[in-house]
């Protein structure tokens, strides 16, 4: 089995059978060890212990903010609880969108509670907890944007613990399921060099792999070849799957590939890509080493930094570096 990327590796049992039973779902609200993860306008909540010593402040790792059902219900009496699953210890976890609150930390009333963006929290939380928050974020975003039926425009209602929304128009009654949008992300290689690109509009000097959404009626291999041709004008062959990463910002599944090309010269799709370069493994090792020192690494006068450590883009590059 391929090692999971960040945001994969959720250890919850998603109880796909049980959640179809409204009585089973209702019983989970009464269980004393059921806990609820609140989300507010896409921010997650953690508890950041405050250190007693001034010097050691902020070093302690945050933990997830877990509310009991009664407390969570008070924050959002009308909102649907979204069933995430059951822990190995048999405790049920729900997510709850409390975006309607103006000052959620005041209402929660726990001094050490803080909000954070999942992309930042992922580098300090355990893998399985980041994955659970990713599921919570993906589902709450889907619910927030699917309150009406895409087929007839009537209101929809959450069912099966929030894993389906059903149209309330009896003549339609369409079931809508949470969506995941596949996107390919690929490291293009040419012998002992790989191509990394700087995306137009990114203020950071970050050079990363190419990526793009899979189009309707397109295979993953075709999407890889099309995106590479569109963005840098290279024709690839030998497209090989590597690993995948849920990316709930808002609903992507990043499917990671390696693709080899015989072409050396490329042309940029300038509205998408502002620069691209071929890099050797040693050049990229220098970029990685400079992360420790903070010294900028320049190529033809342009600073080059690697994609963030939680991303599959980074993993695709690092795995390639480690092969040579």
Question: Which stretches of the chain bind Zn ion, using CB under 5 A?
Answer: 149, 151-152, 154, 167, 169, 172, 174
Looking at the Cβ atoms of 169 and 190, the one nearer to Zn ion is 169
Nearest approach, Cβ of residue 176 and Zn ion (Å): 9
What would the two tokens of residue 318 be?
Answer: 């690092």
Looking at the Cβ atoms of 19 and 165, the one nearer to Zn ion is 165
Nearest approach, Cβ of residue 145 and Zn ion (Å): 16
Looking at the Cβ atoms of 152 and 289, the one nearer to Zn ion is 152
Nearest approach, Cβ of residue 179 and Zn ion (Å): 16
- Residue-wise burial string across 52-73, b where 16 or more C-beta atoms lie within 10 A, e elsewhere: eeeeeeeeeebebbbbebebbb
Distance between start and end Cα atoms, the chain: 23
Nearest approach, Cβ of residue 214 and Zn ion (Å): 27
Question: Which long-range CB contacts under 8 A does 287-296 form with residues at least 24 apart?
Answer: 288/318, 288/321, 296/205
Q: Is 48 exposed, middle or buried (0-12, 13-18, 19+ CB in 10 A)?
A: middle
Sequence-distant (6+) residues with CB within 8 A of 210 are: 185, 186, 188, 195, 197, 227, 228, 231, 232, 273
Looking at the Cβ atoms of 149 and 224, the one nearer to Zn ion is 149
Angle at 43 between CA 37 and CA 49, to 5 degrees: 70
Nearest approach, Cβ of residue 147 and Zn ion (Å): 12
Looking at the Cβ atoms of 146 and 305, the one nearer to Zn ion is 146
Looking at the Cβ atoms of 148 and 299, the one nearer to Zn ion is 148
Nearest approach, Cβ of residue 156 and Zn ion (Å): 7
Q: How many CB atoms lie within 10 A of CB 257?
A: 27
Cα dihedral sign for 316, 320, 321, 323? positive
Interatomic CA distance for residues 169 and 31, integer angstroms: 34
Nearest approach, Cβ of residue 174 and Zn ion (Å): 5
Looking at the Cβ atoms of 25 and 167, the one nearer to Zn ion is 167
Whether omega for the bond prior to residue 250 falls within 30 degrees of 0, making it cis, is yes
């Amino acid at each position: 089995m391929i090692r999971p990327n960040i945001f994969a590796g959720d250890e919850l049992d998603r109880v796909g059978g049980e959640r179809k039973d409204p009585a089973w779902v209702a019983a989970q609200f009464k269980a004393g060890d059921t806990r609820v993860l609140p989300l507010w306008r896409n921010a997650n909540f953690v508890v950041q212990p405050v250190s007693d010593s001034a010097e050691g402040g902020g070093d302690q790792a945050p933990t997830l903010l877990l509310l009991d059902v009664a407390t969570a219900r008070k924050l959002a009496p009308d909102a649907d609880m979204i069933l995430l699953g059951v822990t190995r210890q048999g405790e049920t976890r729900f997510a709850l969108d409390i975006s309607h609150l103006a000052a959620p930390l005041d209402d929660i009333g726990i001094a050490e509670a803080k909000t954070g963006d999942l992309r930042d929290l992922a580098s300090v939380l355990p893998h399985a907890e980041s994955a659970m928050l990713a599921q919570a974020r993906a589902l709450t975003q889907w619910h927030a944007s699917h309150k009406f039926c895409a087929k007839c425009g009537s209101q929809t209602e959450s069912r099966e613990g929030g894993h389906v929304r059903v149209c309330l128009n009896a003549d339609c009654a369409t079931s809508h399921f949470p969506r995941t949008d596949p996107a390919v992300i690929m490291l293009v290689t040419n012998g002992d060099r790989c191509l990394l690109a700087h995306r137009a509009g990114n203020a950071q000097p970050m050079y990363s792999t190419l990526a793009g959404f899979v189009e309707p009626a397109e295979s993953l291999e075709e999407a890889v070849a099309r995106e590479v041709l569109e963005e840098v004008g290279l024709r690839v062959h030998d497209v090989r799957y590597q690993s995948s990463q849920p990316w709930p910002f808002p609903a992507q599944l990043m499917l990671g590939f390696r693709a080899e090309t015989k072409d050396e010269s490329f042309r940029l799709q300038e509205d998408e890509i502002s620069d691209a370069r071929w890099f050797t493994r040693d050049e990229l090792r220098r970029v990685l080493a400079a992360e420790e020192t903070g010294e900028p690494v320049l190529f033809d006068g342009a600073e080059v930094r690697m994609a963030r450590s939680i991303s599959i883009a980074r993993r695709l590059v690092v795995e390639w570096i480690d092969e040579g």
